[in-house]
Amino acid sequence: MKNISLQILLVFTAFFIYRCGTNKQPGNENNVQGPDSSGTKHKYDTVLMMAGINSKGVGRFDNIKLTHPLDEQMVTSGKRIYETKCFACHKLTTELLVGPGWSGVTSRRTPEWIMNWVTNTKVMLDKDQAAQADMAVCLIRMPNQDLTDQQARDVLEFMRKNDGKN
């Protein structure tokens, strides 16, 4: 039984190494579907979504109150943080770069999970199933970004904006 799970994991891992490599082509910035339409993107999204979709993650945040409409000041600050600290590894589409693209992240992850992830990355990687599933895809541990709680909240607001939430 254990061996079968290991084999499945290896097949997935090989598959995603291939995907991470092929996604680094220039010129796909605005191509939300990625370079092919064979359904590969769909499988990738499904694997990420299956892991801990309702989880709050591990950390101090267990009740984030979202504002409606979006707080545009936080969006602006979050965008600036994205452009300085996150941009090198995350696209705003569904495409993988070093880490997963952020399109749809506020639907597949709870606000609490995102806040805990960004402020408690190392512990989440050690303990959280969804974070570990992401890492199985990306094969690199996201470094701690040393954001304050407010900065993490601002980035979350920017992600909501990117997802067309209001």
CA-closest candidate to residue 19, choices 89, 87, 109, 100:
100
Query: Of 59 and 100, which CB lies nearer to ligand HEC in the complex structure?
Result: 100
Query: Of 79 and 90, which CB lies nearer to ligand HEC in the complex structure?
Result: 90
CB 61 within 8 A of CB 113: no
Query: Of 1 and 78, which CB lies nearer to ligand HEC in the complex structure?
Result: 78
Question: Which residues of this chain interact with ligand HEC, rule CB under 6 A?
Answer: 48, 81, 85-86, 88-90, 98-100, 105, 108-109, 114, 117-118, 125, 131, 134-135, 138, 140-143, 145, 147, 155
Shortest separation between residue 90's beta carbon and ligand HEC, angstroms: 6
d(CA 151, CA 103): 19
Query: Of 2 and 137, which CB lies nearer to ligand HEC in the complex structure?
Result: 137
Q: Which residue is nearest to ligand HEC (CB)?
A: 99
Shortest separation between residue 149's beta carbon and ligand HEC, angstroms: 13
Residue with token string 């570990």: 132
Shortest separation between residue 1's beta carbon and ligand HEC, angstroms: 27
Query: Of 74 and 155, which CB lies nearer to ligand HEC in the complex structure?
Result: 155
CA-closest candidate to residue 99, choices 70, 148, 142, 147:
142
Shortest separation between residue 82's beta carbon and ligand HEC, angstroms: 7
Encode 130-163: b = buried (16+ Cβ within 10 Å), e = exposed. bbebbbebbeeebeeeebeeebbbbbbbbbbbbe
d(CA 160, CA 99): 18
Shortest separation between residue 50's beta carbon and ligand HEC, angstroms: 12
